[in-house]
Structure 1
Amino acid sequence: MYNKNIAKAIYTYQASKAYNIDSKLLTTLINSESSYRANSKHNLDYVSGLAGINSRYWDIPNKSIKEQIFAGAYVLRHYLNRYKGDTLKALTAYKGISDLGRRQAKDVYKRYLKIS
């Protein structure tokens, strides 16, 4: 399911513009983390928010819906910069350098390519 909430869609669009990220990519990533459900629980207690931000690594605002979406864009932009725009590598770093993270990153990337 992709985001159908107008406020969340606006925040996603604003964050994608602020961090120069394709809004479809950011939407696909957030959808993979939480399906845009504000009350979504992650497997790890230090991962939170719509974008699944790891608080052990990232000390950024992640409380309000807007902050959660912007945090996801910030982290994704960080990895896109680190990997010189290589989307799959950036998604892998975002999801985690593990077998599971790699599989999840490939899945997000495939879904993104389908809607692009």
Structure 2
Amino acid sequence: MSDGADGEAARVQRAEFYDRYHIPFDHDAAIKVRRSGLLRGSSGTGHARDTVVHLHVKEPFSAGRLSRGADSYLCEKGSTVDFQGREERHKNDDGETVIPAVTCETCLDRMERWEVNDGQ
């Protein structure tokens, strides 16, 4: 198996994910760190088996009835991104910054309003 091909396929898939949206505010990806994921015997990353990636709202915005403050999660009003702004970025083997696709169902539902419709 070729790690390079898998890595490239994953990179393309992530790029295609974010290309589907026109999100009108500064954003990133983040997880809600779990203490259990930081304890001895864990991966030390704050991840648990059911950890999902959220859309991290980096600046205040308002779109109709939906509004969020800076450094919050799109899925949860009044939330804050904690653990030093735990962004889910990492470097791949080529040294490129990788931002994972959002996997939180609530974030994805709310992101639908910014989905790009290619003339459909």
TM over 0.5: no
Higher relative contact order (CA 8 A, sep 6+): 2
Larger of the two Rg values belongs to structure: 2
TM-score (norm 1): 0.30
Higher helix share: 1
TM-score (norm 2): 0.30
